[in-house]
Amino acid sequence: MRTLAGFLLAVALLSPAAAQTTPAEPGQVARLVRQLDDEDAAKRDAAAEELRGIGPGALDALRAASKDDRLGAEARARAAALIPEIEAGQEHRRIWGDRHDAARDVTDELKRLNEGTEGWELHAIENPALDRAIPKVMFVIADWVGAEKETVETQLWAVCREPSEIVRIRSNADYPLIAKWIPSAPSGREKEVVAGVLTGLERARALTDGPFEFHADTAEAPVADDGNTTYADSSLLCVSFDEKGLLRQVAYLAEMQRGGKKK
C-alpha cells in the first residue's frame, strides 16, 4: 500500500525476449540451428534466443534438428525444448490476439463488484516467458495509490480464458484458484517452470512499494525415491502438484520448513 503523499510510481515489467516474433531472413534459421551446436556456450544461448524470437517460422527446422543425429545431443535437446515454447507463444496469440487490454477487463470487474476504480493503478504484466508458460491467463497488478486510512494491499488479478473468468489473488494460497488454466506439469522440468513463474508473480504481488518487476525465478524439482516428483522449490515458494501434474498448493518455503516437511 502507498498513500498519495510522497508517491513515486515506477513500473518495470522486464521481458527476456521481444513480445512479437521477428521474420527470418533467408538462411537465417538454418544458420541458427547449426549454431545450437557451437562450441561456444554464449553463441549457443544467442542462437536459442534468436530462434525463440523468430517463433513459428523456425518450428519446421527445429523439429528436424531435434531428430538430426549429425547434431550433438545438447543441440538436439535445445531444439526439442524450443518447440513447445514457441507453440505456447502461438497459443497465447490465438487466445488473446496481439494487443488485449487485460487492465480494462479488471477495471470492468471492479465496477461489476461495486468496488470502484478510483485510487487503483492497474498494470498488465506483459512478458513472453509468462505468456508461454501460462497462455490462457493474463495477469494484472492492482496498486493502491489513493488516500486511505487503512492499509490496502497490492492485488494480483488473473484474467482467464477457455473458460472466461477473472480471479483475484490476494495471497499465495489463492494461486490454486487458477489451477485449471495452468498447463499440467507431469515432468520435473515442467514443474520447475511453473514454480519459477509463480514465484515471479508472487514477488510482484507481495510488493507494497514498487517498482514492480517480473521475472521467472529458477526452481528445482527433487526426484523422490520412487522416481516421481510432486513439488518444486524456488528460493521463495514450495509449489506442489497432484498425481496428474496439476497445481495443488503454493506455500512460502519458510512456512513449509517450519512445518518440518513438504506436503
**pLDDT for residue 181:** 97
Contact present, 218 and 237 (Cβ < 8 Å): no
Residue 247: beta bridge partners?
241
Helix 73-96, helix 41-54: angle, nearest 10? 30
Enter the pTM of the model. Answer: 0.73
Could you count the other beta carbons within 10 Å of the beta carbon of residue 10? 8
Evaluated on CA atoms 18, 102, 116, 179, the torsion sign reads negative
Residue with cell 513438504: 262
The residues, any chain, with a CB within 8 Å of residue 88's CB and separated by 6 or more, are 131, 132, 133, 135, 183
**pLDDT for residue 98:** 79
**pLDDT for residue 5:** 27
> Can you spell out the DSSP letters for 146-183?
S--SS----EEEEEETTTTEEEEE-SGGGGGGGGGGSP
Cα gap 251→172, rounded to integer Å:
6
Cα gap 203→173, rounded to integer Å:
14
Cα gap 125→147, rounded to integer Å:
25
Could you count the other beta carbons within 10 Å of the beta carbon of residue 36? 24
Q: At CB < 8 A and 24+ separation, what contacts does 140-143 make?
A: 140/102, 140/103, 140/105, 140/106, 141/204, 141/205, 141/212, 142/106, 143/2, 143/9, 143/210, 143/212
Cell of 197: 513463474
**pLDDT for residue 192:** 94
**pLDDT for residue 141:** 93
The dotted CATH code for 28-96 is: 1.25.10
**pLDDT for residue 122:** 92
Instruction: State the 10-residue block means of pLDDT for the chain, 263 residues long.
Output: 28 35 81 95 93 90 95 94 85 89 95 87 87 93 77 88 96 96 92 95 83 85 73 95 95 76 48
**pLDDT for residue 221:** 92
User: What ranges do the domains of the chain cover?
Assistant: 28-96, 99-259
**pLDDT for residue 87:** 85
Q: Give residue 162's region: left, alpha or beta (phi > 0; psi -120 to 50).
A: left
- What are the angstrom distances between the C-alpha of 115 and each of 32, 110, 111, 119? 51, 5, 6, 11
